[in-house]
Every structure is written in structure tokens, then in C-alpha cells.
Structure 1
Amino acid sequence: MILEEIDKLRAQLATRACRGVLLISGDKDRCELMLADLETELENPLLVCRYVVGEMEPALRTAVLGSECDTLIWNFHSEPDINTLAASAGCLRRGGLLLIIAPETDDWVDSFTLADGSPSLFWQHVLRELERWPWLTRYEGGRFIAPDEHFPDLPEGDALPTADQVAAMHRVSRVLHGHRKRPLVIRADRGRGKSALLGLSAAEFLLEDRGDILLTAPRKEAAMTALHHAAQSLGVANGEPSVGDSRLRFLPPDRLLAELPEARLVLVDEAAAIPPALLERLVTAYPRVVFATTVHGYEGSGRGFDIRFTESLNRLTPQWQQIELQEPIRWSEGDPLEALVSRLFLLDAEAPISASADVSDDCVVELLDKHLLLNNEALLRDVFGLLVVAHYQTAPSDLHHLLDSLATHVWVARLFDGTVCAAALVIEEGGLPESLVEPVLQGERRLQGHLLPQSLVYHGGLVEGLSLRCARISRIAVLSDYRRQGFGRRLLQEIEQFACDEGLDYVGSSFAADAPVSEFWLTQGYLPLRLGVRRDPCSGSHALLVAKPFTDIASEALMPLNSRFARHFMLGLRETYPRLEADLIRQLINQLPVEQPLHEDERRDVQRFALGEIAFEHAYPALFRYLQSRPLAELPASEDINLVIARVLQGLSWSELAARHQLKGRREVEHHLRQGYRLLLSLELSNSRF
């Protein structure tokens, strides 16, 4: 019976080139038996669940990226991984059917519960969106219930490459063969074939055999579609295809920027999930770059990319170009399932737009009740959209955590017109038993949901790290029009007051460190405690851990860690952070206390080097000590000072510095190095007069 009805439904979908949803509701045991039968009867279904049904293994998110299917099964009885659900939705072809196996809708509140027994707000949101969708077919109590509306007739779509892709390939060709420093940005919603486009373009250019093409993405999995289409177009095995002496090479962003290999063209897939600071460096390092980005989706925040990186392109390469792919390739244009998936996971959430044109510092800061978020859809979309824009990488599971995590609080600052101008996610951590200290210290235990306490113990050796209670700000965002107006500071102050009232020991955060973000935290009195020794492969940045103590016990525990950071940071620049950004180094140096004053003979060596009387090698110890012991006056932002930091503190070679600063060898580099020290000495003299 059910298979016959499914066949009829699939036939309707096929004739209309539409994708549909069948919700099969029932108790877990009955649904599991039904699922086992469907798995044997249906042809190659893609199953998303956590446990094995028959011989079917659980689908992994990385495995479904780029794959296609005609039947997709979501098993909600298994509490599947939210990110896998969102990723798998893009695998369903036109005419395909999404089967959702779930509890009876009347039982959802009791079926999806949290650790304290309260109902899951996220799954209530999912049910609400499913019930609102007018094309939902149901199977309940042994009978089918037809949807409220007939499936729309949709176009069949074109074979690859689509007209959209052909037009975009011409634009990519202009980047390669036209004027330099005119990067192209390709924007598209999910399923528009932007990754395939990059692969097809790369294959076409490889046939010219005039040099390598580089492909980068936040993860290699995200680049596999482009690599596959390039190899398929050239008729070679999957991998990194080559023609003659030319090859399509994949390199992650951090390695690409560290090595800077020669290339005719650089292709950047899922650019929205790569921090703008790294994208800026790519534009500066390579004259021909193409960026492809998802406008909405789990791969990253396309809207955040639009706001932040396009500002950089306007400044660095004002003649940059843009094109948008509109035509879907796996499903038909106007497919209603695409809109449903976006609503289920808020993939299309964007930052709010203020009704007022005036920027005012008048705002109300409040801790939101999560039931209010669930019942106020506009507010939920505004808050989540703002948090998406502010972060380099957002996943659908973040929505799940926002609504359901018992330790997570949502704070917002709202203007008089109701606009959410700032938002923060705050997670309570710590308060753990001392019995866990030794396993954490030895690296035998990883504590989910306690990032800061675990780091303080494992990296800092702080025995009290687990027992101290803290509020970790996992994300804080301010609407672009209202930045640097004090809204982030107001929000942070209210969170700090809440932490004090609740008896928490400290407030802290760990974030991908760049100069603007670090400046915000350091100017609010947060102490740098640790800088990660490796760059995160997704963010391309080192993680900076900061904290502000609010109890005596926290001060006694955290201040020594800050002191150790001060002692070790400058010594670690040469060995551990040789390519840390100069602006960030300058900020952190300005936070370090002066512990050892400079001796007169050392000052004399610095002065003699600045005047050109002695060589760098003779003066190096004094040059280093001068930076280590100089007053806390802010180091100025200038190319000469950046060069001082890179050579004296980070130990970069003369040749690398010459190439980086476009200078002619050691002689010019050393000249600018002397100018940098002359500037520092003059600033010190000027400050001493006041």
C-alpha cells in the first residue's frame, strides 16, 4: 500500500519536475520496520540517521556533499545531525522525494526533550515549518493525506553547462586573459553549480598548458566538486588533473598564503567561509583571482561576505567585477522544497534593517526568553541573521544550540524602533569537579561545552580552571551601520553585570584573532591569556583567549597566566608566530607590562643603528630589548614599524621582507628598518616631554 502510494507521488513529482516531501508519522518501532522495508524496495536511497538500519550505514555530511539522489530519507527518530540534514537536502534531484520518518506530530513535544526534561524548541520550530508548508503529503494512521496545494509545474532545466554557467565562464576567462587586478566574485544560492563552474573553467584553462591554477577552499571536501568536474571534463581520473606541465592544485588558504606558489589564476570556492583578512591577502598576493560564494547556506555567511569583503575589494581593487548564478542545476527554478529547507534551518536569515535612518546611542539591552524567540519568528530571524553576518562560519546546528542549549543565553541590544542592533551568545561554563583536572591535564578527556575551563587546565596548567565558573561569549555582533557607536560595549557591560549578579568568577572569550576584533576586547579590559600556536584551518587565524576576572579567586588564578603570556609572547614570535599580522602584534605588545628597563649601553646601540653607525647583526640584541622594554605608548601603524616587527621580532629573512615590501634587497630593507627605529626614538622623546 505505502509503496504504491509512494510510486504515485513520485510519478506526479517527475511529470512536474518538482521535489516533494512525504511525512511518515508513527511510533519508533513501527517506523523502524517500515524504514527497513523502504530501504530494500527503493533504489539507492540516501539515508540520514545515527544508527544502522539493516545494512545501511549512517550518512556523513562530508560524504553527501556533491552527491545526488532521487530519494532522501530523514529519520527524526534517531535525532540526526542537523548539519547533515541541511547538507543532504542539496543532493535531492528534481522530481525527487524527501521522506521524513518522525513521531506522531501530537507527540513531538514529548519525543524531543532536553537534558532537564523540557521540550526542544528547535524541533517545535521544525514541526511548525513543516505544517505551514502547503505541499506536504502525510502518512498517518495507515492513510495518506494529500497536500493542501497541487504541485507546481516547473521547467525541466538544461544540461550542463547551463546558460548561466556559460556566461560566468566567459567572465572567468576575462579575469585570466584580461587586465590584472580585476577579481571576479561569483555569487549563488545553493545548487546553482558554482563549484562545477570553477572546475569546468579550470579544465578549459589547463588545456592552454601555460601554468598552474590554484584552487582553495575552507576544507578540501568543499573543493572536491570543482576537482571532480575538472577531471571529468578532461577525461582523466579524479584527483588534481594536469595537462602537460600545468596542474590544478588544491591548497588550503593558510598554506597557500604561507607558500605563495606561482599560478596563472587562483580560484576560491566557498569564499564566504574564509575570513576576509585572508581573502584580502589573496587579492594582494595574486593579480588574477576568482571568488565563488554561497549567498545563503551552511557553507558560510554569504551576507557577511557581502558586507565585509566587498568593502575590502572596493579599497584594494576598485575595478572588481561580480556575477550571480540564478538557475538551479539539480532542481527546477522555483522549487518549493528549496524555500522549505531555508526556513527549517534559517539558511536565508539576514541581518535586520533599521526603520530609522538616524544612528542613536539609545538602546535597551535584554536577555531574551527563548520561548519568545520561538514564538516571534521575525525576532528569531533578526537575531540569528545578525549572528550569521558577524561570523566567518555558521552551521545549521548553531540554530539548534541557540534554541536548545540549556547553558546558552541570548542577549540583544534594541533601538527605540525595535531594531536588533547588537546580539551575543553567552555560554555558562565551569563549576566542574576537581576529579576531572588530571584527565584533562593529561589530554585524556575532552569536555564538551566547557571550552575556556578546559583550555585553562590543558594549556595553562591552571588547577582551578575547571572549578571556576565563567560566562563565555561565543559570539558577539553589531549591525554594520551601528559599529563603533558603543553598542557592543553596552552589551558587554550588561553581560558582565549579569555574570557578577550570578556569582560567576569571570567573563571570557576565545576567537579568531585579527586586529579589529582583538582591539575591541583589549580596550574593554580583557586580559590576553593564550594565543593558539597553530592557525585554525577554517578561520586561517590563531585563536586568542581573553578573560576578565570578577572575583578574588579568579584574579589570583588568571593574573599569573596573563603575566606568563607577557613574558613569552615576544620570545615566541620568531619560532611560533613568524607570520602573525603586524597590526595584531602591535596591539598585543601594547598590553604587555614593562618588566625590565633598557640599559644605557643598549639604548646607545639602538641609536647608533638608527643613525647607520653599526650593522644590524651588532645591534640585534639591543634592538630586540628595546621593543621588549619600551613604554606602553601605542606603536604607530606604518610600513617601517611593520618591517621592524617582521625582522627583529619574527626573524623573517631579508629576501622575504624585500619581496613583501617591494624593496630592492637587504640594503633598502635595512634603510627602512633604521627609519623605523628613528621613528620609535622620536616618539619616545616626544612622549617624555609631557
Structure 2
Amino acid sequence: MFARIKPIEDTVITEYVSALLALKMSATNNNMRFPVFVKGDNDFIVLMLDALPDVTLVSDDWQERSALPWSKAKQFLGQETGSLVLDIRQSIDVDKVCAISGCVKGGELLIFLVSTENSPFMTRFSRFYSHANAALLSQTQGVHLPTLTSDQFESAHFVDGVTEDQRIAIDGINKVLNGHRRRPLLLVADRGRGKSSALGIAAGQIIASSNKRIVVTSPSISNIETLFKHAIIDTSVQRRGKYTLQSSSGGTVTFVAPDALLRESPDCDILFVDEAAAIPMPMLERMLDNYSRIVFSSTEHGYEGTGRAFSSRFRHMLSDNAKGWKECRLVMPVRWAINDPLEAWLFDAFLFDAEPELPPDSGVLTVRVITKNQLVEDESLLRQLFSLLVTAHYQTSPNDLVQLLNSEHQLIVGAFKGNVLVGAVLGMKEGEFDPELATAVVLGKRRIKGHLLAQSLASHSGIEAPLTQPLLRVVRIAVHPSIRRQGVGQTLIASLEQRAIESGISVIGTSFGCTLSLLSFWSSLSYQSVRLGVQRDAASGAYSLQMIKSLAHKQAWIPQLFELLSSNFLHQLSEQYRDMDTMLLNQLVSKISKATPPSKLAMDQVRLFAAGALGFDLVVGSLWQWFIHWLEKNSNHNEIHSQCCLLLSAKLLQRHGWETVARQHGFNGRKDAENAMRQWIATVIKD
């Protein structure tokens, strides 16, 4: 497969240069890209780079020539670049590497400067220097070149500047704009297929011929530079500042960040959501509720690391909320040839396309620890584990692969059916700080890398014990989709808890974006809530809930954390949690509040309100006392999710206006809503 040239000691440097130039010529002639690995001393590297004078170097350590620091590497996003040299000899940020690779256009090289392997991840990574599609130029090992024939490659065919896939996408976008409402379009593709270009061309055509208003949202404005560039189809469309395009006919394309979009709800004729997989699902669901004509664009495989799990979950959400939604998949690469060597190498090296194996129908479930060495040596096992994590968590990134292989304090337990991994739980050991360091962390003077749960609990409560004692944090739990809800998750957690006890760890905890299902799961395993974030998590779009469980013996600081959470939570309902889903809020109140029973006088007022003798404004304090206590005592009662109970929560606890709560819960104004409250309270009081 590879042509081998003698090591450098036996030949002249020109053979290395010739090999590199031949590879560049092959890339140019076939519109494809190659990964190239250069390994040697600085003099050797300089000779290689001087052979390609137009390359851009990204490095934090290079002294001999100008280089772009890694901190600025993401400035390439939204652009097409020539050949790049990435210096990863000291460290590697895989997310940035994968992001940058998608900017390299066909006909160019992506060159890695590498050195001796210094971690489990780099040990595995070094095997891909000799990948079938890669080239290795090593000062001690010689030259390895891929042997590929030109008939393996085919470039896209363009008609009027677009591929056939892009034309179909543009037609689909126009149907969303001009067809029936509530029929969104989902554009799905791997990187480099021209999704953003298609969005831009469609936007330019729309505003050039009309005064339509298009709003574009994306996690970062850099993501939509390609869209804006392709929307300027002729001189009738001009850029007006950083965030807006305007046509001579009065049409506009305006970028609005996702949070501002939901906060301000700007009017538009159609909404484009670019890189939707990097936006939390709850935010996407609210966009779907707020706008009747939407086009979502999502990367299926790529550095975002979210595509496949996102697409699966998002399709389910679309089917539940927009029955007439359509999907358009772009397959043909636009910026490089089919079977591009660099793309194939990226998929293998970073497991972009790893899919869970289908478990056998029968067989006993076995549980065992998976070691880091096993993952490094067993590529099949690593692919199975990583694919489960991607499937279960739609914001898994390539950097998680580094953590999986390199972490020093990680405990992995896998569930197997035969040789097929069907579930896994990842735990991370935290804590055991000395008292002086723990005090510095609580005072905000120090922050130690890792120890996320222990430091969060201590720094937000002022209690040092979570830092000074050993604690195991549940990082991830993933179960094969075909066997979920069969007790595999509970089995994995029980096994992890047992292994924690055997390791001398007496406390286990978890942190997650709080949803009803996750709250129910962890509560069923006797985990206790100890902290709730006051702002939505950027990744999940939900409030982060932290839960703890004592394993060997009770810890005095856990009830202390719960007491602080309980006392603060009830005072945060009308401000910090004003926009929380009321069904989730009711469940949290029922589990977190420590309310005293209402007084006899308060209950008399509640009864008078229920009978229609007193108005809501006169008894709001008494109602609050009774309702909080009632929720706490009825945590397992279906009534807490009834329409009138949710209505009362929105008005009484979150303090929404009458017009808002009446509209949201299907009542005709305040009088109708207040009467419903009276009837419901009268019924539950009798019970």
C-alpha cells in the first residue's frame, strides 16, 4: 500500500522534498486533501516546510518562523484555507484540529508536526500516521506515501453554481417559505457538503426578488460568514454592518444570536438555524414553537461531535411538534472530491462514524471494569464505547476521546451481552484536598483543574467537606438504544457504587441538565438534590442539578447542603426560575422544599378563596403557604401535573401575569383562570 524510501541517513533530503511535492501535486490534480505527518528535529522540519512556502503554521512553540497561536486558530472557521501546518508536538486540542481540518480546501495538505508519544491518546493517535490515506515523513523511519489512484476520486458537478444536492435543498427552502405553515425543513450532511452555501444562495435569491425578512441564528456569527458570502448573489444585495444584508427590493438577512432570538422574538418571514446541533434542544423546541417557517441545518459527522445523537433526538421532537416536517440530505462534497483521503482519515482517527453494535437478542448481562489500557489496545472496544457515548449524549466532542484515554482518575464500568458493549458508566474521582487548599477554593482564591462537582458544591455553599473527602462523580451513563428502560442503567450505577466503596470512597454524586426523566431516575436510586444552578446550562439549555448519595456511612455535610438548597430555592422561584417549565418546577418543589404546615388562619383563608368569598390578591400569602406544603406532601401524586396545579404554580410561585397564565393554560382571561383555581383547590382540600 505504501511506497518506502530509505531513511534519511542513507539518502538525500531532496527525496523527502520530492515526495512531499508529489503528494501536493496529486492533491491538486484530484481536488483532494491528504493528512501528512512530519517527525524529526527542527532542522528537518524547516527543510520540509520550506518546500511548501505558502502554508500557514499554527503553533505556540515555534521560534524559527512566524506562526499563528492555537488560541486564534478558530478564526479559520467560516473560511476556506490553503495547506495548514499544525504543531501538536507539545499538546493537542482535538476539537480545534477537527474544526480547522474542515477549512482546508481540496487540492491542499493538512500537515501535522509530531514527536514521541507522551500519553495513551497519542499512543493510539500515532498508529494513524501510517493510515492508508496518510503520509509520514520521518527523519528516522523514512517516507511512507499512500498509494491511491485517480479513478477513486470524483469532484462535484455544478449547474448554475450549485450541485444537484444544493439545488434540491434550495427548492426545499423555498417550499418552507411559500408552502404550508408548520412544515420545517431539516438539512443534514457531513462537513463540506455546502449546507451553509445553499442557505446563503437561497437567502440571496429570496431577498433579491422580494422584501422578505430572513433571520439567521447560529451558535457563533463566525459560522454564518459562508452563508452571508453566498447570499450576496449580485450587486442588488449589500452588507449593512456585521449582522445584516439588505437588497435593493427591501429584503433583509439578519443574524441574531440564539438567546437574543428567544428573548426578543424578532419578526421574520422565515428563520434559518445554522449548526443546530450545537444549540441546546430546549432552545430549538422554543424556536419551533415561536416561528412557523423554519429551516434547520445540522452537521451529521464532524468536530461538533453532536450530529448523530442530535439528529435522532431532533427528528423525534419534530415528529411530535411538526408532523409535516421534511428532511433533505446533502451527500456530494463541494469543497473536495468524493473519497477525500483527509476526510476518511478523520472519520477513523476520531471515530466520527462509530456506531453501536446491535446486541444479541438473548444472553446474560455481565458487568465489568474497562481499563484505560484496554481502550488503547482494543480499537473495537473503544469504538463501541465512544459510539454509545455519542448516541446517548448529543454534545459529545472529539476532545472527549482524549479524556477517555488520558484521564488519571477515571473509573469505567461496562455492561456486556456476549462481546457487545450495551452500556457504560464513567466515574471520576474527586476531592481529598488538604484543608488549606480547600479553604482557598471556598474563598475563591484557587481553582483546581477537574474536581468539577466537589469544587462546585464547596464554592457555592461555603462548606469545605466536599473538597476534603474522596468523592466519585458520575460523568456519563449510556445505554444502547435498543435495550433502554430495562434496568441496565440501574445495574451500572449499582456496580459503580460498589466499586467506589471498595476504593474507600463513601460519597457519589452527579450533575446534569435537569429534566423530569433524569430527576425521576436519580431520585429512584436515592440520590438527594443538593444544588440547582440559577442559570441555564449552555450545553443542555436546562438548569444544572447536582445530586449526592452517601455510600458507606452518612455524611453530615449532605443534609447541610440540602438545607441551604431548600431555604434558597423557595425564594428563587419568582425570579431565577421564573421561566422554568412548571411541570418540572412542581416536581422540584415537591422534592426540595421543607415547608411548615399552614396555620389555621391561613387554611381558613384558602377555604374562603375556594368558596369564592375572598379574591386571589387578598389571600396570596396564605395560598402560598398551603400550596408549597401541599406539593411537598404530594410528590408522587399525578395531581401535581394537572392543568390547574400548573396554572397555580405559574401564577403563585413564578408570579406570571394573569394574561400570560390564562393564555398559556387555555383560559379566557383572569376571571376564568381564577375560577378554575377555586374549583381545583376545593377538590384537593376535600381529598
TM-score using structure 1 length: 0.89
Whether contact under 8 Å (1:47, 1:56) holds in the other structure is yes
Q: Give the distance between the partners of 2:208 and 2:682, measured in 1 at CA.
A: 53
Percent identity over the alignment?
A: 31
- How much does 1:675 deviate? 4.6
- How much does 1:394 deviate? 1.6
Aligned to 1:498: 499
Whether contact under 8 Å (1:386, 1:478) holds in the other structure is yes
Which deviates more, 673-682 or 476-485? 673-682
- How much does 1:663 deviate? 4.2
Task: Give the superposed CA RMSD.
Answer: 2.5
Q: Give the distance between the partners of 1:367 and 1:544, measured in 2 at CA.
A: 27
Aligned to 1:430: 431
Which deviates more, 536-545 or 379-388? 536-545
Distance 1:318 1:393, change over 3 A: same
- How much does 1:9 deviate? 2.3
Aligned to 2:132: 133
Q: Give the distance between the partners of 2:240 and 2:511, measured in 1 at CA.
A: 42
Alignment of 1:74-85 (within 5 A): 74-85=86-97
Aligned to 2:510: 509
Q: 1:290 aligns with which of 283, 291, 295?
A: 295
Deviation string for 1:74-122 (max 9, x for gaps)? 223132311111111111111111222223xxxxxxx333xxxxxx221
Aligned to 2:56: 46
Alignment of 1:654 onto 2:654: no
Alignment of 1:474-493 (within 5 A): 474-493=475-494
Q: Which amino acid aligns with 1:128?
A: R
Deviation string for 1:267-309 (max 9, x for gaps)? 2222223333332232222222221111112214222123322
Q: Give the distance between the partners of 1:225 and 1:537, measured in 2 at CA.
A: 24
SS of residue in 2 equivalent to 1:528: strand
Distance 1:578 1:324, change over 3 A: same
Alignment of 1:311 onto 2:311: no
- How much does 1:134 deviate? 4.7
SS of residue in 1 equivalent to 2:108: strand
Distance 1:31 1:458, change over 3 A: farther
- How much does 1:64 deviate? 2.3
SS of residue in 2 equivalent to 1:93: coil
Distance 1:632 1:198, change over 3 A: farther
Which deviates more, 644-653 or 217-226? 217-226
Aligned to 2:419: 418
Whether contact under 8 Å (1:46, 1:73) holds in the other structure is yes
- How much does 1:169 deviate? 1.1
Distance 1:215 1:643, change over 3 A: farther
Aligned to 1:180: 181
Aligned to 1:608: 608
Q: Give the distance between the partners of 2:568 and 2:114, measured in 1 at CA.
A: 55
Alignment of 1:405 onto 2:410: no
Distance 1:409 1:238, change over 3 A: farther
Unpaired segments ≥5 residues, structure 2: 1-13
Which deviates more, 286-295 or 246-255? 246-255
Deviation string for 1:148-196 (max 9, x for gaps)? 4445552333454322112101101111111111111111011112122
Distance 1:391 1:143, change over 3 A: closer
Whether contact under 8 Å (1:392, 1:539) holds in the other structure is no
Q: Which amino acid aligns with 1:328?
A: P
Aligned to 1:688: none
SS of residue in 1 equivalent to 2:555: helix
Aligned to 2:398: 396
SS of residue in 1 equivalent to 2:413: strand
Aligned to 1:261: 266
- How much does 1:652 deviate? 1.3
Aligned to 1:617: 617
Deviation string for 1:334-388 (max 9, x for gaps)? 21221111111111223332232x6x8x522221022222222222111101111
Alignment of 1:337 onto 2:347: no
- How much does 1:35 deviate? 6.7
Aligned to 1:107: none
Deviation string for 1:18-44 (max 9, x for gaps)? 2223322213x4355447746xx521x
Whether contact under 8 Å (1:22, 1:97) holds in the other structure is yes
Whether contact under 8 Å (1:402, 1:410) holds in the other structure is no
- Number of residue pairs aligned between Structure 1 and Structure 2: 661
SS of residue in 2 equivalent to 1:470: strand
- How much does 1:678 deviate? 4.3
Whether contact under 8 Å (1:228, 1:239) holds in the other structure is no
Alignment of 1:148-547 (within 5 A): 148-150=147-149, 152-158=151-157, 160-207=161-208, 210=211, 212-230=213-231, 234-236=237-239, 239-243=242-246, 247-356=252-361, 362-415=364-417, 417-547=418-548
Whether contact under 8 Å (2:308, 2:394) holds in the other structure is no
Whether contact under 8 Å (2:131, 2:345) holds in the other structure is no
Q: Give the distance between the partners of 2:356 and 2:59, measured in 1 at CA.
A: 32
Deviation string for 1:115-143 (max 9, x for gaps)? xxxxx221122122332325535344495
Aligned to 1:591: 591
Distance 1:251 1:484, change over 3 A: farther
Aligned to 1:628: 628
Aligned to 2:3: none
Which deviates more, 613-622 or 322-331? 613-622
SS of residue in 2 equivalent to 1:155: coil
Q: 1:12 aligns with which of 15, 26, 29?
A: 26
Aligned to 1:71: 83
Q: Give the distance between the partners of 1:315 and 1:144, measured in 2 at CA.
A: 55
Which deviates more, 584-593 or 206-215? 206-215
Q: Give the distance between the partners of 2:510 and 2:680, measured in 1 at CA.
A: 34
- How much does 1:237 deviate? 5.3
Distance 1:681 1:580, change over 3 A: same
Q: Give the distance between the partners of 1:402 and 1:454, measured in 2 at CA.
A: 21
Q: Which amino acid aligns with 1:428?
A: K
Distance 1:212 1:424, change over 3 A: farther
Q: Give the distance between the partners of 2:451 and 2:441, measured in 1 at CA.
A: 11
SS of residue in 2 equivalent to 1:186: strand
Unpaired segments ≥5 residues, structure 1: 104-110, 114-119, 686-690
Which deviates more, 16-25 or 665-674? 665-674
Whether contact under 8 Å (1:453, 1:466) holds in the other structure is yes
Q: Which amino acid aligns with 2:215?
A: L
SS of residue in 1 equivalent to 2:517: helix
Q: Give the distance between the partners of 2:442 and 2:324, measured in 1 at CA.
A: 53
Whether contact under 8 Å (2:35, 2:110) holds in the other structure is yes
Whether contact under 8 Å (2:86, 2:112) holds in the other structure is yes
Whether contact under 8 Å (2:597, 2:629) holds in the other structure is yes
Q: Give the distance between the partners of 1:36 and 1:442, measured in 2 at CA.
A: 49
Whether contact under 8 Å (2:529, 2:562) holds in the other structure is yes
Q: Give the distance between the partners of 2:683 and 2:302, measured in 1 at CA.
A: 48
Q: Give the distance between the partners of 1:625 and 1:427, measured in 2 at CA.
A: 41
